[in-house]
Structure 1
Amino acid sequence: MTQITIPRPDDWHLHLRDGAMMQGVLPETTRHFARAIIMPNLVPPVVTAADAMAYRERILAALPEGAQFDPLMVLYLTEDTDPADVAAAHATGLVKSVKLYPAGATTNSHGGVRDFDKVRAVFETMAEIGMPLCMHGEVTTPEVDIFDREAVFIETILDPIRRKTPDLRVVMEHITTKQGVDYARSGGDTLAATITTHHLIINRNHILVGGIKPHYYCLPVAKREEHRLALVEAATSGDARFFLGTDSAPHADHLKEHACGCAGCFTATNTMQLLAHVFDAQGKLDELAKFASQNGPAFYRLPENTAQMTLVKTDEAAQWPDKIMTEAGPVTVFDPGFPVYWHVQP
């Protein structure tokens, strides 16, 4: 196959930041994606329904002229989150989920949850109204090795939460391990998982071999090759439990390229071409629509996009900018490390 047409894709895990950074990176998403789940870990975070509405208005005001894009808003879960406010936010139809960050797990997560019993009432309310909980699935206890944090989270936090609130609909975000794949497959129709573009392409060697590569550093950190292969198999399988969440995370270069660099890979610009390459290499191009365009809306109980996207494979390697220039500083675009011959038709 050298051409494929799919429903216009959605991104079910996206960081847009705010202010000058958002102004600079938003066009990279709206060029290809119809909708996106917008992460709430701003400073200060998007905690209440009012916060979410205000952030949504800032996003809409920043849209490029002519862009057709629907930001799907998310509340940042804290130990003080009011279940009634969550229900009211959900009732607007504009707030689609709540995000659980274990405190200290990733960028701007210091206000996240430490005592999960304190948010039990929120979980119960969400289960009653059918609102999905998006989870950053890593423990933060210092004694747990960073490469084991996802597996330990599944065993000690995620599974107990789901046993206590079995009707809670959960998205395991950016899974990075075979254990994550296996658990997602065990969970029935209340459990799904997003997979990022970069975790389908890099393993931990890409970050560390031949010198530290800060633009491959993300959280959850890339794991061994066996885990990458499990993610590729899951993403390309057509299984309805798995769908695209890029976790595209812009940081200005000066915040990535120093002694304590920020976590995140910026993939909004070239995700669809990279996915076509990955699925093509597996002989699974016919499953790309499910992963990028159909499984996500089905889980979130939203209609599939009616607009379409066509990707074409040619003999000419695709080109994209090395950096996106923003008033907050340059942002380096993810480099897969190999030529890609798939192109998104204008």
Structure 2
Amino acid sequence: MKAFIEQAWQKFHPALLLLLPLWALYGCITALRRLLYAIGIKKSEAVSVPVIIVGNLTVGGNGKTPVVVWLVKLMQSFGYNVGVISRGYGGANEATILVDEDTDSTLCGDEPRLIVNQTGCLMAVGRDRIAAANLIIEQAESAGKPLDFIVSDDGLQHYRLKRAAEIVVIDGQRRFGNGWLLPIGPNREAQWRMKDAILKICNGGEPLSDEALMTLTPAQWLSVKDNSVVKVDLAKQATVAMAGIGYPQRFFDTVANLGINTDNNVGFADHKHYQQQDLKALVNDTQWLLMTEKDAVKCKAFAADNWCYLPVTATFQPQVEQNIKKKLEEIHHGFRR
């Protein structure tokens, strides 16, 4: 059923017309919600630091997390002290909590752990994004290092949190599917919603004239167990690839593009919590298990020697980074003034 819906979301299928009542209801609810915020019946709440939202219009993995890591590192290189907030999807914790390199991913979610591991930034997760933002603001101030910016991992549709700017990530292959809103199509909101974004990012594929092309550049394969470099040539080994991300095929394509012909590709639900026996059953003693970095943060505690992961880095043209630097300077100056 899931495979049928994903295919129908890309190329419209007449059976989707059965969902018209739900589509109409969803459209009315989202439109009413936007209207309530626009006319002030519902209030957006600001925090004491400018917030940059990194989000997307469609469901499924679009590549937001590599963008957040890239943006935070870029802002740090400009001299800004940056914190990150997230809903913490996949985490079981109900409260607002700080995330560090030792936080259990079952509590905070996989993506927050990955972001902290790669950036070393101050980060909080929770259902209440405003509470999460205020928590890291207080933590930074108590440490004598006030934040200059907060980056929100997702939250484009979280209108309660007032934002200084938005960055929208687009899947360059799937784009906006059949163009319909949920549940007939994959879109949470219509494409007009991107008109005020300071940056529209196309993850792979062919970008439009007003979009910046993002390339995910693979690094070296690393051991899930101890993060050491895997020195064997995986293209000459028996391998199985697995991915529990929004769009597993992107990882499988990356593996194939590296010249690795896998024996099997196994996709799991996004944010899935793994059990050791589930993953051990995927490979035999002669096979390597290949996974994403997002999966690896959840498997380190029980990883076998033949499990490895592939870090990827988001890269852009230098002009994109210069344009963002200028936008950030304007936001920071205007906010402080």
TM-score, normalised with respect to structure 2: 0.28
TM-score, normalised with respect to structure 1: 0.28
